[in-house]
Chains A and B, each alone.
Chain A
Amino acid sequence: MEIDPLIFRLSIFILSIFVGYYVVWSVTPSLHTPLMSVTNAISSVIIVGAIIAGLSGNSESVFNTSSIFGFLAIALAAINIFGGFLVTQRMLAMYKKKTKDKK
């Protein structure tokens, strides 16, 4: 009997939770705010779903109800991706400068 592909995805999911658990515990408390902003940015990888949705229209009509929701989701996810990574970068740059100042 063949194994349903869902089981493989479920395995990836469960193992990733464990990876996440150990990785996040090793994050230093002083970087908890950047952790939140970067997790925000990476969870916007949901944009891949949004892109598929946006391209679901055909060449005659790009816009249908489904693809419009896709385009809106693309814009929202893009705000998050750019905003999330850039603001994280900005914060982390501040942490770095100080060590240099000190040494």
Chain B
Amino acid sequence: MISANLSAIFYLVSGVLFILALRGLSSPETSRQGNLFGILGMIIAITVTFLSTSNFSTGFIFVLIFILAGGSIGAFIAYRIPMTAMPELVAGFHSLVGLAAVFVAISAFLNPEAFNLGSPGKIKLGSLIEMSIGAAVGAITFSGSVIAFLKLQGIMSGSPITFKGQHFLNALILITIVALIYLLCSTQSPNLFWILLIVSFLIGFLLIIPIGGADMPVVISMLNSYSGWAAAGIGFTLENTALIITGALVGSSGAILSYIMCKGMNRSFFNVILGGFGATEEMGSVSNKEQRPVKSGNADDAAFLMKNASSVIIVPGYGMAVAQAQHALREMVDTLKKNDIKVSYAIHPVAGRMPGHMNVLLAEANVPYDEVFELEEINNDFANADVAFVIGANDVTNPVAKTDPQSPIYGMPVLDVEKCKSVLFVKRSLSPGYAGIDNDLFYKENTLMLFADAKKMTEDITKNL
């Protein structure tokens, strides 16, 4: 048993180690060390919690059993999960943080003595407010993440689900939550606590269903942020510095990522959250669809174009992840490099289903990270490149975003792919992308469409090089 002051200092130390863990991610060289700081911080926090409890009863053994049980499941998942499934995994993990926060809040509500918060029915007001906020945000994180997980996993359709009066209903529920917290704090009634949890689960569900598949980067970042605020809320209840610091870090981290993702789509946060983007726009584009000629080619043509190029820029998108084409792509690039062709990769901020999704896949395929560039770094190079190889991306290359103020994606930063001498576009069909609008790039003079599965086409091109 160590004193409360000493354990508070150790919690502060682990909070600082968590800051260093995030700091390490500023470059790939320091990131691994950063992760070790994070692990160390966690070990300190858990050890101190054990040492500061006076109750070394049989319960202690059960704590260890549950840690080991959960830990082995976690470790098993971490080693088995394919890199392409990372967005689902992160969404799933968010839901667990949310649910854990809810469980801790329930436990503290039922047995406040264990946490020094007063007695049942007489919980300290401040603690009760913090507890109910933590529980509500945790519940929203849980149900929202479950929906995000189901959508990413394809169990639930990725298209937005909207109905009349949706925003009104959501607003009503949010007001109800605030009212419930107020009533709960004045009456301390357990029934209100349970109702609060149920209503919060419901709103998490309702908030995420209207958001479409390609907006998932924003949703995942947002839920990341929520999981942080939930942890902070519980941290205030437990008066635990490590938890408060971590909650604040994770909360602001998720908020910044959401901001970056929204910027990448030139949409306001509220526009994304209110949802229904894909569904409404699709209607509009069907009517004015016209038949325009496209040039399509095969692997042989593509190989010929690339062989005669001196520089090639590759633009990967979600389609590459779906087709698991990253390794085939890397092999193609190896062959190109053997022919002294300069190859670089251009990543749009919202390519894929989560922030940094494409970078991880390319890293998995052993692409050196110094060949991979962000939009601002590489956009001027398209004008000097010979071939742009677009694989599984669509809306992020659409020049309409720069030319047509009527377009729903007008103003979104896009990769200037059309400035290349020639464009190779690997796609299964001419169908429009997520935004539901035609890509002008398909019909350009210098575009060659390669209609095939991304992985198969890339392999065929390699054979023909």
User: What residues make up the interface of A, taking CB atoms closer than 8 Å to B?
Assistant: 5-6, 9, 12-14, 16-17, 19-21, 23-59, 62, 64-67, 69-99, 101-102
B25 at the interface (CB under 8 A from A): yes
Cβ distance A95 to chain B, nearest Cβ, rounded Å: 4
Contact of A17 among B38, B251, B257 (CB under 8 A): B251
The reply to whether A79 and B71 contact each other, CB–CB distance below 8 Å, is yes
Given A31-B25, A58-B57, A79-B243 contact (CB < 8 Å): no
> Roughly how many angstroms separate A64 CA and B106 CA in the complex, as a whole number?
12
Contact B356 A89 (CB under 8 A): no
Determine the chain B residues whose CB is within 8 A of the CB of A53 once the complex forms: 103-104, 107-108, 111, 114-115
From DSSP, what is the main secondary structure of chain B's interface residues? helix
With a cutoff of 8 Å between Cβ atoms, the chain A residues found around residue B74 in the complex are 78-84, 86
Do A90 and B79 form a contact, CB below 8 Å, given A27-B25, A34-B25, A54-B62? yes
Q: What are 15 pairs between A and B in contact, CB < 8 Å? A: A26-B23, A28-B25, A38-B38, A39-B228, A45-B41, A46-B235, A48-B243, A52-B115, A55-B59, A70-B103, A71-B63, A79-B74, A83-B93, A87-B81, A102-B370
B288 to chain A minimum Cβ distance, whole angstroms, is 36
| Nearest opposing residue in chain A for B361, CB measure | A33
- Min C-beta distance of A17 to chain B, whole Å: 5
Are A45 and B243 in touch, CB under 8 angstroms? yes
Please name all residues of chain A whose beta carbon is closer than 8 Å to the beta carbon of B113 when the two chains form the complex.
56
**Among A19, A72, A74, residue most surrounded by chain B Cβ atoms (within 10 Å):** A74
A66 CA to B123 CA, complexed, in Å: 15
Query: Which residue of chain B has its CB nearest to the CB of A100?
Result: B368
Contacts of A91 in B (CB 8 A): 83, 86, 360, 363
Known: A80-B74, A81-B42. A87 touches B104 (CB 8 A): no
A43/B374 in contact, CB under 8 A: no
B28 touches A31 (CB 8 A): yes
Give the interface size bracket for B toward A: 35 or more
Please state if B28 and A33 are interface contacts (CB–CB under 8 Å).
no
Within 8 Å by CB of A51, from B38, B50, B228, lies: B50
- Please tell me which one of the listed residues A9, A28, A40, A69 contacts residue B103 in the complex, with CB atoms under 8 A apart: A69
Q: Are A79 and B70 in contact (CB under 8 A)?
A: yes
Any A CB within 8 A of the CB of B309: no
Residue B132 lies at the interface, judged by CB distance under 8 Å to chain A: no
Q: With A and B bound together, what is the CA distance between A17 and B19 in angstroms? A: 11
Q: Is the CB of A35 within 8 A of B45?
A: no
Instruction: Using CB atoms, name the residue of chain B closest to A94.
Output: B363
Across the interface, which residues of A come within 8 angstroms of B290, CB to CB? none
- In the docked arrangement, what's the CA distance between A96 and B34, Å? 13
Contacts of A45 in B (CB 8 A): 14, 18, 41-42, 45, 231, 242-243, 246
**Nearest-Cβ distance from residue A39 to partner chain B, whole angstroms:** 4
The answer to whether B70 touches A75 (Cβ under 8 A) is yes
Q: Which chain B residues lie closer than 8 Å to A47 at the CB level?
A: 45-46, 49, 67, 100
**Cβ proximity bits B281-307 to A, threshold 8 Å, 1 near / 0 not:** 000000000000000000000000000
| CB-based contact B25/A46 at 8 Å | no
Minimal beta-carbon separation of B116 from chain A (angstroms): 10
Among the stretches B148-156, B219-227, B269-277, B456-464, the one at the interface with A is: B219-227
CA distance A96 to B360 in the complex (A): 12
Min CB distance, A101 to chain B, in Å? 6
Give Cα distance in the complex from A50 to B111, angstroms.
12
Q: Are A98 and B83 in contact (CB under 8 A)?
A: no
Complex CA gap A45/B38 in Å reads: 10
Residues of A within 8 A of B240 (CB): 48-49
Is B58's CB within 8 Å of the partner chain A? Answer: yes
Determine the distance from Cα of A76 to Cα of B103 in the docked complex, in whole angstroms: 10
Residues of A within 8 A of B78 (CB): 82-84, 86-87, 90
Q: Which residues B104-151 have CB closer than 8 A to chain A?
A: 104, 106-108, 110-111, 113-115, 126
Known: A29-B374, A30-B369. A17 touches B238 (CB 8 A): no
Complex contacts, A76 vs chain B, CB 8 Å: 70, 96-97, 99-100, 103
How distant is the Cα of A20 from the Cα of B255 in the complex, in angstroms?
A: 10
- Which residue from chain A places its CB closest to the CB of B249 in the assembled complex? A20
Report A-chain residues with C-beta under 8 Å of the C-beta of B242: 45, 48
Q: List chain A residues, Cβ under 8 A from B126.
A: 6
Tell whether A49 pairs with B89 under 8 Å between CB atoms, given A12-B244, A32-B257: no
Query: Is B60's CB within 8 Å of the partner chain A?
Result: yes
Complex partner residue of B60 from A40, A55, A77, A81, CB under 8 angstroms: A55
Set of chain A residues within 8 Å of B83, measured between Cβ atoms? 91
Instruction: Report the Cα distance A79→B260, complex, angstroms.
Output: 29
Closest Cβ of chain A: how far from B435's Cβ, in Å? 22
- A24 — which chain B residues lie within 8 A by C-beta? 22, 249, 252-253, 256-257
Chain A residue with minimal CB distance to B97? A43
Query: 15 other contacts beyond A66-B106, A84-B74, with CB at 8 A cut-off?
Result: A14-B248, A28-B25, A30-B369, A30-B374, A33-B86, A38-B22, A39-B254, A45-B231, A46-B235, A54-B62, A54-B66, A57-B59, A72-B103, A84-B93, A93-B32
